[in-house]
């Protein structure tokens, strides 16, 4: 235990000298400001304005959301100034949709929405699905995404940077001749980064969801965070031990960011459908975290078995590479 | 202290690094292990310090087979100075020593201040980060790291590298002191002066084989042509004569007015190394 404390103290000093804690704090503030003053407000913006030019008064029972304009000039001016809006020109008797073109799907959606406002009494009502208000839902989604990004991209860089530093100083080789179990050297780093990620997860969740909303889901979030943190920390260690320098690492980092994280975000948050995404391990981890944010605990035993195997294989790899690094030019 | 019999080691199938080394190192001895780069010095030292596994032959340290000896207790008894001063550059010398010494039992540790003082470490730098040190200062801090645990067996790799002449003299004095205390020293070096002045015995290693092993004095003596060179003045002119050492016993048989200097023509340790291995050290 005494040895472990010593190693932990050394790692904390290394992280402090590399300004790791400061960078994490900076990201925490940045994410919180983004969620509270950017994302939530953006998600709360009004849907498209709809302008109606109907000099003959053919459309009598329109929704209150429709803005009537009195002249063709006013109609054109409104569309010119509000490029996101949709215009309905009923001057010729039939209805013409006028809008600035975007993507085909979005344009159809905008047109359908505008037309739906001409029949406000249509026999349908939207039902609420789930327990959360749109803002609560948005906060949970974005907090989950930011936490996933922080751990899989930023924290991963942190642990690799610390190990590259020690590798560069040659001190890993000194540990080969110390009365110390090499596992402790690795465990101290893993536990420190795990704790740091868990603290980050707690703060980010509380700051963006509020204490009362965060408390019931925190245990599940921390559990999923711990799994992701261990996998990413071990991946960072593998890269740092395998690659020659930090420059090489940045290339690998880009590859991991592009090929590992991007498909997950695209598949989980956009209309992009990737048939093979079920085979992507990070997709399941991301969904595990997302489920935790929405209070769903539906992950199968295979998921946990897969994660445990992944951690065990990565740890065995790190251990082998660490022994190899200790042997390099030492003694 | 160290007993090595038929030691072999290969990196992969076709890359044999050691071809059956045999040597012993006695308690309290300074044993020099000399060889050019790639001769197998580092491989041998890595096997002895437990970093490399999978060797052939028999190696015993502290009277025990190496396979059973590489545990915490073993590492508490050895100190290793690497060729390069591996230290945490963000920490000071004192913090480095505090960190590394934390892995040893308290009762075997030396006082950090005393060790640094012995190594004539500049006091203004004691609390400054290692990144601000000169090469010589880093080497001193590294030596302090190797000595701090009061080891019974000390592995030193190029101990005087990066030191100015007075630093090299100081390091040799400290190594001598260690020997007087009973510490066994396994010294790997390219520096012939260090080997000559410090080592009780030296082994010349070439392409994974020991090609000579003896005391530096014996090695030189065995291969000496027993000639001496005399510089003298005769009738106002400076002259030089090379004679056999036995001629001296009969006195100076040649005409001279004044002897200026007498030089032994004994070969240097480096000459011996080249003779035995056919290669220079560097």
Mean pLDDT of A37-52: 78
- Does residue B260 or residue A127 have the better pLDDT? B260
Answer whether residue B83 is part of any domain. yes
More confident site: A89 or A130? A89
Tell me what the pLDDT averaged over chain B comes to: 87
**Do residues B97 and B148 lie in contact, with contact meaning Cβ atoms separated by under 8 Å?**
yes
Least confident of A19-23, A147-151, B247-251: B247-251
Query: What is the model's pLDDT at position B141?
Result: 92
- Nearest CA to B97 out of B69, B118, B127 is that of B127
| Window from A98-102, B167-171, B208-212 with minimum mean pLDDT | A98-102
Q: Which residues of A touch B90 (CB under 8 A)?
A: 13-14, 17
Q: How many contacts (CB atoms, under 8 Å) link A and B?
A: 77
Q: Residue A205: its pLDDT value, please? A: 96
**pLDDT band, very low/low/confident/very high, at A218 (cuts 50, 70, 90):** very high
pLDDT recorded at residue A128: 62
Confidence of residue A253 (pLDDT cuts 50, 70, 90): confident
**CB half-sphere exposure, A288, CA atoms < 13 A:** 24
Tell me: do B198 and B157 sit in the same domain: yes
CB atoms within 10 A of CB A249: 20
Tell me the residues of A at the B interface, defined by beta carbons under 8 Å apart.
Answer: 2-3, 6, 9-10, 13-14, 17, 166, 169-171, 173-174, 176-181, 326-327, 329-331
Of residues A317 and A95, the one with the higher pLDDT is A317
Domain shared by B35 and B99, yes or no: yes
What pLDDT score does A127 carry?
64
User: What number of CA atoms fall less than 13 Å from residue A117's CA on the CB side?
Assistant: 21
Does position A112 have pLDDT exceeding 60, yes or no? Answer: yes
Contact A330 B73 (CB under 8 A): no
Percentage of chain A with pLDDT > 90? 30
Same domain, yes or no: B191 and B241: no
pLDDT of A270 higher than 50: yes
Q: Which of A10, A17, A331 sits opposite B46 (nearest CB)?
A: A331
Beta carbons of B51 and A14 less than 8 Å apart: no
Q: Is the same domain home to B152 and B256?
A: no
Contact B51/A331, CB-based, under 8 Å?
A: yes
Per-residue pLDDT tens over the stretch A256-265: 777 777 777 7
Cβ <8 Å between B103 and A178 = yes
* Count of domains for chain B: 2
Domain membership of residue B273 (yes or no) is: no
> Which residues, including other chains, have CB under 8 Å from residue A124's CB and lie 6 or more apart?
none
pLDDT (tens digit per residue) in A305-321: 999 999 999 999 999 99
- The pLDDT, as a whole number, for residue A121 is 65
Judge if B115 and B156 occupy the same domain. Answer: yes
Q: What's the token pair of residue B110?
A: 């030396």
Q: Of A221, A203, A37, A42, nearest to A134 (Cα)?
A: A42
Average pLDDT over chain A reads: 85
Q: List chain A domain ranges.
A: 8-41+132-327, 50-116
Phi-psi region of B57 (alpha: psi -120 to 50; beta: other; left: phi over 0): left
* Tokens linked to A246: 């930090």
Give contacts of B103 with chain A, Cβ < 8 Å: 3, 6, 178-180
Give the closest-approach CA distance of B36 to chain A in angstroms: 15
In three-state secondary structure terms, B262 is strand
**B109 near A CB under 8 A:** no
Give the pLDDT score at A45.
65
pLDDT digits (tens, 9 = 90+) for B63-103: 888 877 667 888 899 999 988 888 999 889 999 999 999 99
- Do residue B85 and residue B176 come from a single domain? yes
Are B205 and B229 in the same domain? no
Q: How many CB atoms lie within 10 A of CB B140?
A: 28
By mean pLDDT, which of A209-218, A278-287, B61-70, B104-113 is the weakest? B61-70
Higher pLDDT, B11 or A102: B11
Q: Which of B90, B104, B145 sits opposite A17 (nearest CB)?
A: B90
Q: Are residues B75 and B189 in the same domain?
A: yes
pLDDT at B173 over 90: yes
Q: Say if residue B145's pLDDT is above 50.
A: yes
Stretch B192-197: mean pLDDT: 88
Q: Which residues from chain A sit within 8 angstroms of residue B46, using beta carbons?
A: 327, 330-331
Classify residue B15: in a domain, yes or no.
Answer: no
Same structural domain for residues B174 and B242?
Answer: no
Q: Is the ipTM of this complex over 0.90?
A: no
Q: Please give the structure tokens belonging to residue A76.
A: 């054109």
Is the pLDDT score of A331 beyond 50?
A: no
What's residue A301's pLDDT?
A: 85
Test B86 with A170 for CB contact under 8 angstroms: yes
Q: What are phi and psi of B57, to 5 degrees?
A: 85, -170
- Shortest CA distance from A14: residue in chain B: B90
Q: Please state the rounded mean pLDDT for residues A233-247.
A: 88
Q: Is residue B147 part of a domain?
A: yes
Q: Looking at residues A269-276, what average pLDDT do you find?
A: 74
Q: Given a cut of 60, is residue B171 above it in pLDDT?
A: yes
- The answer to whether residues B142 and B206 belong to one domain is yes
Same domain, B165 and B230: no
A194 has pLDDT over 80? yes
> Do B163 and B33 lie in a common domain?
yes
Select the residue of A3, A329, A330 nearest B103 (Cβ to Cβ). A3
Asked if A176 lies within 8 A of B49 by C-beta distance, the reply is yes
Domain that holds residue B185: 29-42+71-210
Q: Which residue would you say has higher pLDDT here, A254 or B184?
A: B184
CATH number where B178 lies: 3.40.50.300
Q: Which residue of A has its CA nearest to B52?
A: A327
Which tokens belong to A305? 């078995």
CA atoms of A261 and A264, how far apart (whole Å): 5
Assess whether pLDDT exceeds 70 at residue A124: no
Query: Which carries the bigger pLDDT value, residue B6 or residue B37?
Result: B6
């Amino acid at each position: 235990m005494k040895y472990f404390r010593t190693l932990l103290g050394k790692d904390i000093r290394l992280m402090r000298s590399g300004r790791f804690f400061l960078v994490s704090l900076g990201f925490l503030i940045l994410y919180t400001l983004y969620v509270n003053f950017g994302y939530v407000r953006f998600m709360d913006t009004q849907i498209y304005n709809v302008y109606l030019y109907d000099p003959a008064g053919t459309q009598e029972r329109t929704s209150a959301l429709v803005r009537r304009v009195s002249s063709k000039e006013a109609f054109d001016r409104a569309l010119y100034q509000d490029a996101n809006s949709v215009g309905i020109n009923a001057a010729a008797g039939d209805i013409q949709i006028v809008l600035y073109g975007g993507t085909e799907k979005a344009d159809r959606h905008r047109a359908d929405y505008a037309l739906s406002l001409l029949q406000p009494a249509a026999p349908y009502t939207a039902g609420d699905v789930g327990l959360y208000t749109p803002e609560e839902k948005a906060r949970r989604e974005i907090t989950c995404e930011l936490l996933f990004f922080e751990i899989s991209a930023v924290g991963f860089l942190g642990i690799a940077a610390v190990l590259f530093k020690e590798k560069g100083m040659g001190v890993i080789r000194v540990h080969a001749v110390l009365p110390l179990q090499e596992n402790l050297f690795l465990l101290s780093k893993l536990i420190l980064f795990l704790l740091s990620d868990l603290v980050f997860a707690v703060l980010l969740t509380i700051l963006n969801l509020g204490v009362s909303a965060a408390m019931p889901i925190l245990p599940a979030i921390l559990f999923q965070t711990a799994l992701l943190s261990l996998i990413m920390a071990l991946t960072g260690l593998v890269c740092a031990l395998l690659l020659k320098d930090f420059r090489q690492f940045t290339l690998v980092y880009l590859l991991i960011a592009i090929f590992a994280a991007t498909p997950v975000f695209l598949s989980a948050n956009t209309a992009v459908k990737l048939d093979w995404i079920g085979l992507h391990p990070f997709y399941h981890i991301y969904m595990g975290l997302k489920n935790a944010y929405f209070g769903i605990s539906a992950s199968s035993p295979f998921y946990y078995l897969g994660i445990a195997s992944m951690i065990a294989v990565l740890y065995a790899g790190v251990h082998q590479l660490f022994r190899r690094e200790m042997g390099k030019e030492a003694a | 202290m160290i007993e090595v019999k038929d030691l072999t080691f290969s990196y992969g199938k076709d890359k044999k690094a050691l071809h059956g080394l045999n040597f012993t190192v006695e308690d309290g001895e300074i044993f020099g292990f000399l060889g050019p780069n790639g001769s197998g010095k580092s491989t041998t030292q890595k096997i002895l310090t437990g970093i490399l596994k999978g060797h052939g032959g028999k190696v015993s340290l502290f009277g025990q087979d190496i396979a059973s000896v590489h545990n915490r207790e073993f590492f508490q008894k050895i100190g290793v100075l690497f060729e390069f001063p591996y230290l945490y550059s963000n920490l000071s010398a004192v913090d480095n020593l505090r960190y590394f010494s934390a892995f040893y039992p308290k009762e075997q540790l030396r006082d950090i201040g005393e060790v640094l003082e012995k190594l004539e470490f500049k006091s203004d730098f004691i609390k400054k980060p290692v990144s601000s040190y000169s090469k010589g200062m880093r080497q001193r801090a590294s030596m302090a790291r190797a000595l701090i645990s009061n080891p019974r067996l000390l592995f030193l790799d190029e101990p005087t590298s990066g030191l100015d002449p007075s630093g090299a003299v100081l390091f040799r004095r400290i190594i001598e002191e260690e020997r007087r205390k009973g510490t066994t020293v396994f010294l790997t070096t390219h520096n012939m002066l260090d080997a000559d002045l410090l080592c009780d015995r030296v082994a010349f290693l070439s392409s994974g084989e020991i090609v000579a092993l003896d005391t530096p004095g014996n090695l030189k003596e065995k291969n000496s042509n027993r000639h001496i060179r005399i510089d003298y003045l005769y009738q106002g002119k400076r002259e030089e004569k090379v004679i056999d050492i036995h001629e001296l016993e009969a006195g100076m048989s040649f005409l001279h007015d004044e002897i200026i200097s007498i030089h032994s023509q004994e070969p240097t340790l480096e000459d011996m190394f080249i003779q035995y291995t056919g290669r220079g050290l560097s």
